[in-house]
Structure 1
Amino acid sequence: MPRPRSNRSFIDRPDRVTVHVRGDDVHFGWVDPRDGKEKSLKAKNDRALAYARARQLNSLVDAQLAAGFAVAAPGGPTLADFVPVYLKALEERGLAQNTRRSRKSLCGIWVARVGDQTLDDLSGDVRLVDGVLRAVAGEGKNRTAVAMRSCLIDIWREAQARGAIRSDLPSPASIARAPKAKVRRARLTLDDFLTVYEVARRDFEPRVANAMALGLVTAQRRQDVALMQFKRGRDWLPAWMAWQQDDPHPTHPYPFVDDECLHIIQLKTGALVRIPLDLRLEAVGWTVREVVAQCRDRVASRFMVHHTHRRTKSNPGDPVHQDTISRSFADARDAAPGLAWPGKTPPTFHEIRSLAERLYREQGVDVQHLLGHREARMTQVYDDYRGAAWREIKA
């Protein structure tokens, strides 16, 4: 009987499959189109299994090549391989820069701990993923562990959508028990706010108190407060059109005053909010109109929150960066007498938004739309006092 020839042809052989006969054994290989190297299908003498694995690999790799990324082994992409694709997808979704920065940091933690694992292997190793989450939580970083779990679940959805992993393979993070996140940051009460506000007015540049007042009467985030302008300029319409068409543009359509309203397109979510200038926050007796007028001074500027003194990288009238707003608030907070939050992290500028939500809710204002939330449950997070005040029950 003649010796079987190597690389013999089979009618139903999938693409990229090689066949080698060594003695009585038949070995099947698969040629990776990305590096041209042949890799064993680990199916000696089992043609059906080898062909099934080859078809699966071809389908996976073709989808990955179309998506613009490569993997290192027939077992599928490693977590480290897929993370760059995931981060690119976040940009395509139009997520805010801070959100993308946070996800990138979380991905870095995952890659550092299990980045060499393939997605296929991770899917079947819930114990490993659960161990990582428990280890991070054990370091006192419960909120980080919670965010890591959500991040890995989202990575899995993206990987399945791009064909990097089978849709029937569950995310191990969704099976792992969610760490319990204890919120450590203290809420800001109205008395706390007024104490810090008086210090800011007395001892700091006007921009600090102005940013605080705008944040309170509008209930907007610091990035939107930093962009607020007294009127709509000629550069707004091109920015608006680019934003509607999801085209890149150097300017975000900033908040502006027109037709007796403050118009806001939230930088984080894209929510459109129009606040009447006559809206009054009864707890402090301020209207939006009065606070906007307070922001005007002898320095010519388009921006409500602006520098009034020359600095190394800014001139009078220049806008104030959102991080500078946060740092300046923290400086005024730390300088305020008689304030303490034992066992908790001191409140940040963002807590002004939560305070505004609670005050406006008590006043009967539609806080969900004021904050720009799509769902009521998002607004309810801000309504949590975190032990900062007594909840009075009406008789």
Structure 2
Amino acid sequence: MDLISLTLGRVMPRHRTLREWVEIYLPLLEARQITPKTLGNRHAHVRRILAALGDRRIGTIRPHEINALIVQVGKAHPVAAKRTLIEIRAMLDEAVSNGWIQTNAAKAVRLPRVPVQRRRLSLQEWKAIYEHAKAHRPPWVHRLFALALVTGQRRSDLVKMRFEDVWAHGDGRDYLHIIQAKTGARLAIPMDLRMESVGLSVQEVVEACRGYAKLGDGYLLRKTTGKPPCPESMSWRFEQSREEALGVETGEHRPPSLHECRSLAAREYRKQGINTQDLLGHSKQAMTELYHDDRGLDAREGKWRVVALPSLPL
């Protein structure tokens, strides 16, 4: 901390360091209704900002300095660069609101473009991966792939699903209940929801999770020990099965990951007229539309988009 920060900073906050402001900003951030995972991610962005600009007087930080940080981060981690800029914008917005500075220098910095790096998973690919895992991988693996597809949920939610999460509502239907780890969204998925393209319902997939391994604590997905797999192991098993079933890819885009089962679920259920925004737990339809986007998959497979005519009255 320099002499100006120690002297003028006492009466003029703009002369205090960014690090001093963060001591006030973090409690404001932590007081909001943010899930632990999101809060942890935001703390990581704050640490990245402090490492580069923490000792700078907050009122002297200029757009080009912020831009230099974003460019540096973006060389290795484009998504992290975008989230870091969003965080420093929010951080300085709060500083403006609290009278520390008059303008937000980060607003003059453009958000970096994040190229689409991972291609979508096709239905035929999923079927090949599923059948390979069923024949060659431990029994929980193909059940994981089926559960990921028919529910459309993230791996963090798949791994904590239990049999006791299934119960009936007043309408007499049984539902699988999920509180999403990332968003806190509370979902009730009908057990009779069926994905026609693979011939599987949520009920059938959940029932297939009974009896194949020790019950453990009642988790749907269990290893032979009865304990659930870790999320990293789930992703690795998908990659392993994908490469063995389809071969190793060497294209400009990364091959699809386990998370792409979520987009495939959205696209397949949309064809059936299912409300996929509710299924995925998104608060905004715009986010759901990103999952509906096949990123050119149909075109690469030579498929045509058929324009349907309205049915004529008899």
Which residue among 220, 223, 243 is the counterpart of 2:153? 220
Asked if 1:128 is matched to 2:62, the reply is: no
Asked if 1:104 is matched to 2:43, the reply is: yes
Could you tell me how far apart the structure 2 residues matched to 1:156 and 1:353 are? 35
Q: Which amino acid aligns with 1:272?
A: R
Could you tell me how far apart the structure 1 residues matched to 2:235 and 2:26 are? 27
Q: CA deviation at 1:230?
A: 0.5
State the partner residue of 2:258: 349
Structure 2 stretches lacking a partner, 5+ long: 169-173, 308-314
Asked if 1:169 is matched to 2:103, the reply is: yes
Q: CA deviation at 1:141?
A: 3.6
| Largest Rg, 1 or 2 | 1
State the partner residue of 1:3: none
SS of structure 2 residue aligned to 1:370: helix
Could you tell me how far apart the structure 2 residues matched to 1:351 and 1:273 are? 20
Which residue among 303, 306, 311 is the counterpart of 1:394? 306
Residues 91/196 of structure 1: CA separation in 2 closer, same or farther (3 Å cut): farther
TM-score normalized with structure 1 length: 0.68
After superposing on structure 2, the runs of 4+ consecutive aligned residues of structure 1 that deviate more than 3 Å are: 38-41, 80-92, 157-161
Q: Contact (CA 8 Å) 1:86, 1:158: kept in 2 or not? A: yes
Which residue among 113, 116, 119 is the counterpart of 2:52? 113
State the partner residue of 1:365: 274
Q: Which amino acid aligns with 2:274?
A: V
Could you tell me how far apart the structure 1 residues matched to 2:250 and 2:124 are? 13
Could you tell me how far apart the structure 2 residues matched to 1:150 and 1:95 are? 16
Could you tell me how far apart the structure 2 residues matched to 1:189 and 1:341 are? 17
Residues 40/273 of structure 1: CA separation in 2 closer, same or farther (3 Å cut): closer
Note the alpha carbon deviations across 1:296-351, whole angstroms, 9 max, x for none.
1152230001111xxxxxxx222222222222222222322335361112222111
Asked if 1:320 is matched to 2:255, the reply is: no
Asked if 1:304 is matched to 2:196, the reply is: no
Could you tell me how far apart the structure 1 residues matched to 2:28 and 2:132 are? 44
Q: CA deviation at 1:277?
A: 0.6
Aligned-CA RMSD value: 2.6
TM-score normalized with structure 2 length: 0.84
Could you tell me how far apart the structure 2 residues matched to 1:327 and 1:198 are? 17
Q: CA deviation at 1:85?
A: 5.1
Residues 336/108 of structure 1: CA separation in 2 closer, same or farther (3 Å cut): farther
Could you tell me how far apart the structure 1 residues matched to 2:26 and 2:295 are? 33
Could you tell me how far apart the structure 2 residues matched to 1:90 and 1:333 are? 40
State the partner residue of 2:87: 151
Structure 1 stretches lacking a partner, 5+ long: 1-37, 42-52, 61-73, 232-255, 309-315
Q: CA deviation at 1:114?
A: 2.1
Could you tell me how far apart the structure 1 residues matched to 2:166 and 2:291 are? 26
Q: Which amino acid aligns with 1:331?
A: Q
Matches within 5 A, 1:261-272: 261-272=175-186
Asked if 1:338 is matched to 2:275, the reply is: no
SS of structure 1 residue aligned to 2:15: coil
Q: Contact (CA 8 Å) 1:87, 1:100: kept in 2 or not? A: no
State the partner residue of 1:278: 192
Count of residue correspondences: 294
Could you tell me how far apart the structure 2 residues matched to 1:389 and 1:318 are? 39
Could you tell me how far apart the structure 2 residues matched to 1:202 and 1:365 are? 31
Q: Contact (CA 8 Å) 2:149, 2:262: kept in 1 or not? A: yes
Residues 277/134 of structure 1: CA separation in 2 closer, same or farther (3 Å cut): same
Paired-residue identity, %: 33
Residues 156/84 of structure 1: CA separation in 2 closer, same or farther (3 Å cut): same
SS of structure 1 residue aligned to 2:288: helix
Q: Contact (CA 8 Å) 1:368, 1:376: kept in 2 or not? A: yes
State the partner residue of 1:207: 140
Could you tell me how far apart the structure 1 residues matched to 2:234 and 2:132 are? 15
